[in-house]
Amino acid sequence: MISGVLVIFFVLAALAVFGAVSLILQSHPIHSALSLILVMVSLAGLYLLMGAEFIAAVQIIVYGGAVMVLFIFVIMLLNAGVEERTNFSKMATFGGVPLALALGGIIAAAIARSSGQLPAPTAAAQGALTSTRELSKLLFSEFVYPFELTSFLILVAILGAIVLAQREN
Amino acid sequence: MSEILAKYGFLIVPIIKVAILVLVVLTLDAYLTWLERKVIAHIQARWGPHRVGPHGLLQPLADGIKFILKEDPMPTGVDKKAYFFAPFLTLMLALTSLSVIPFGPDITIFGYTTNFGIADVNISLLVLFAITALGVYGIALAGWGSNNKYSLLGGLRSSAQMISYELALTLSVVGVLLIAGDFSLKHIVEKQAGDLGLLSWNIIGMSKDHGSFTQIIGCICFFIAAIAETNRVPFDLPEAESELVAGFHTEYASMKFAMFFIGEYTSMIAVSSLFTILFFGGWLSPFPASWTLTHYLPSVILVPLGLWVFYDGTRYETILGRIILPGLGAVFTLLGAGLFLSSTVNELIQGPFWFFAKVGAVLFFYIWMRGTLPRFRYDQLMDFGWKFLLPVSIANVVLTSAVIMWRMK
């Protein structure tokens, strides 16, 4: 049964995978960064498809916008040139390739063993995903301690950045 | 007719709306350049464009033909992907941002009710911010891909400026969000409706609703940050011609240059629309709803304007002007008279009339500022953004939440 949603899912998934592969294969840092933006935006599309519109918008604003702009800004500022390519190191040949194959096998096995049906989301989770209001209510009631701790962590990181920047002078 | 609309309306109506909007916006962009040149010329005691067509009215058409016919050279050593992608991205994002803006209340045509805009998304404000967040890439890539030091400096300045002012832009809106309790632009406008007319708009906030509070601080912060986001005077450092030739679009010519230009003017329209929606009541009339006589205001403006254009046109120097201007005047007069006679159509255009009147006023303000203010220095720009605008917008968030909390008790 191929529905419109499924078609959109495969287009977005293909874009995300294409972006991820291109991120590694591109030799210029800016092109790699652009591929990463493509991945971020496709992921936002996938979130939107799942009905998590707030997460989708925030994904683009924070990751697609703020974080990646900073990446691009730094690459442009340093005027980084084309990367140098090395041949497969021993580590990659004996460690990397088998591990990558193993990971691919595990994921494939997990997909093959699944019944082809996603478990139906619980009512609470569904409500939390569809409405921004419900999401914020959950954040500030049930998950208030993890939320505040994360904010605190970010604050510490900001202070750390300021201290590091001040040390230069 | 209505059966077809009921069945396939979800597919046909958006396509028609997109076609109309793109046509209207591109024309508006073209005449915005004309208006800008005319207004700045008159501020500087010049005439502005007046050779092509009467009062230079055909100048945008001539510019368009010139853009299409000009040679499009590509400098050597450019990064081809970035160089070609950048103008497309800029224009595409600017046009996309218009898709979530409601230009008026819901309308019913041939028994089919639809929203007056392309998409009615319940997170439309966030969608707009997401598009703005991606908007930096067009300019940054153009600057980096052009293989030119002026372009690179322009692109870098622009990215830094947009990152800095995006924070203030987003935070200045939080006050409005706290009052409306919703991300939907349509609901934000509906929340500002009241018996008091313009007094219940968010900028004054005298609505009977207990959660309303004046957003004048947020309004000023938003406007300043919005000018910086659209790279306009006095924040047009990315294209400061005395230092950077033309900044990020130095190496672009012909249609690719035009795409940056159209993108800039389209984002000006989008930002003005957002400004109108958030702080000036969107499509709402500034008069109380009980003053039904004000519904004839479009006719009252259109008929004298048409008659004046007709009279002015009969005295114009050139033959072409003596044909075009009276024709235009007659069209205006007939439109005004038609609206006066047909009350159904008149009611239908009330929302869009006020919306476009307000957006037009904001756009005029943009142009006025360009003719008045000098450009900031780069360090002043950064200081202003981080040390003044950001703290003030955060203070506005704290103040608004405190007042809302206090009134709820």
| 8 Å CB contact of B81 and A76 | no
A66 interaction partners in chain B (CB closer than 8 Å): 133, 163, 166
Residue B217, pLDDT above cutoff 80: yes
State residue A152's pLDDT score: 94
Residue of chain A whose Cα is closest to the Cα of B86: A34
Closest CA to B94 of B245, B260, B234: B260
Q: What is the mean pLDDT of residues B217-228?
A: 89
Q: Is residue A157 part of a domain?
A: yes
Distance CA B58, CA B346 (A): 30
Residue B311, pLDDT above cutoff 70: yes
Q: What is the mean pLDDT of residues B295-313?
A: 83
* Distance from chain centroid for Cα A61: 13
For residue A61, give the nearest of B130, B143, B183 by CB distance: B130
State residue B215's pLDDT score: 82
State residue A154's pLDDT score: 93
State residue B113's pLDDT score: 74
Percent of chain A with pLDDT over 90: 20
Q: What is the mean pLDDT of residues B6-25?
A: 83
Q: What is the mean pLDDT of residues B343-349?
A: 79
State residue A105's pLDDT score: 93
Last residue of a domain, one of A47, A81, A115: A81
Give me the number of domains chain A comprises: 2
State residue B239's pLDDT score: 67
Tens digits of per-residue pLDDT, B68-81?
888 888 888 788 88
| 8 Å CB contact of B130 and A77 | no
CA-based nearest distance B240→chain A, Å: 19
CATH of the domain at A34: 1.20.120.1200
Q: Is residue A114 part of a domain?
A: no
Q: Is the dihedral of CA B216, B103, B124, A60 positive or negative?
A: negative
Contact between residue B91 and residue B142 where contact means Cβ atoms under 8 Å apart = no
Distance CA B264, CA B257 (A): 11
Higher pLDDT among residues A83 and B350, named by residue: B350
Distance CA A125, CA A111 (A): 23
- pLDDT confidence of A102, banded at 50, 70, 90? very high
> Best of A28, A55, A76, A82 to disrupt the B interface by mutation (most B CBs within 10 Å)?
A76
A44 interaction partners in chain B (CB closer than 8 Å): 130
Q: Is residue A94 part of a domain?
A: no
| 8 Å CB contact of B156 and A76 | yes
- pLDDT confidence of B283, banded at 50, 70, 90? confident
Q: What is the mean pLDDT of residues A40-44?
A: 91
Contact between residue B175 and residue B188 where contact means Cβ atoms under 8 Å apart = no
Q: Is residue A116 part of a domain?
A: no
Which B residues in the span 145-184 are in contact with A, Cβ-Cβ below 8 Å? 152, 155-156, 159-160, 162-163, 166, 181, 183
Domain boundaries, chain B: 65-290+342-408
Lowest model confidence (mean pLDDT) among A84-98, A143-157, B275-289, B343-357: A84-98
State residue B2's pLDDT score: 66
Q: What is the mean pLDDT of residues B254-260?
A: 85
Distance CA A38, CA A16 (A): 7
State residue A168's pLDDT score: 65
> Best of A39, A73, A137 to disrupt the B interface by mutation (most B CBs within 10 Å)?
A73
Q: Is residue A154 part of a domain?
A: yes
Distance CA B366, CA B382 (A): 21
CA-based nearest distance A90→chain B, Å: 34
Residue B207, pLDDT above cutoff 80: no
Q: What is the mean pLDDT of residues B391-401?
A: 90
Distance CA A20, CA A94 (A): 23
Residue B295, pLDDT above cutoff 90: no
Q: Is residue A121 part of a domain?
A: no
- pLDDT confidence of B210, banded at 50, 70, 90? low
Q: What is the mean pLDDT of residues B144-166?
A: 82
Query: Across chain B, what does the average pLDDT equal?
Result: 83
| 8 Å CB contact of A76 and B155 | yes
Distance CA B277, CA B351 (A): 12
Residue A18, pLDDT above cutoff 90: yes
Residue A155, pLDDT above cutoff 90: yes
| 8 Å CB contact of B159 and A72 | yes
- pLDDT confidence of B54, banded at 50, 70, 90? confident
Last residue of a domain, one of A52, A81, A110: A81
Cα distances (angstroms) measured from residue B257 to each of A45, B90, B205: 30, 11, 42
| 8 Å CB contact of A60 and B162 | no
| 8 Å CB contact of B127 and A77 | no
Do residue A70 and residue A135 come from a single domain? Answer: no
ipTM value, please give it: 0.76
A10: containing domain: 1-81
Residue A103, pLDDT above cutoff 90: yes
Do residue A19 and residue A77 come from a single domain? Answer: yes
State residue A169's pLDDT score: 60
State residue A2's pLDDT score: 62
Query: Across chain A, what does the average pLDDT equal?
Result: 82
State residue B209's pLDDT score: 62
Q: Is residue A107 part of a domain?
A: no
Q: What is the mean pLDDT of residues B268-272?
A: 90
Q: What is the mean pLDDT of residues B322-332?
A: 84
B270 touches chain A (CB under 8 A): no
Do residue A146 and residue A71 come from a single domain? Answer: no
Tens digits of per-residue pLDDT, A116-137?
666 555 544 554 456 777 778 8
Q: Is the dihedral of CA B316, B318, B322, B328 positive or negative?
A: negative
Q: Which pair of tokens denotes residue B241? A: 């011609």
A79 interaction partners in chain B (CB closer than 8 Å): 152
Q: What is the mean pLDDT of residues A6-14?
A: 88
Lowest model confidence (mean pLDDT) among A137-146, B204-213, B328-337: B204-213
Last residue of a domain, one of A81, A97, A116: A81
- pLDDT confidence of A115, banded at 50, 70, 90? low
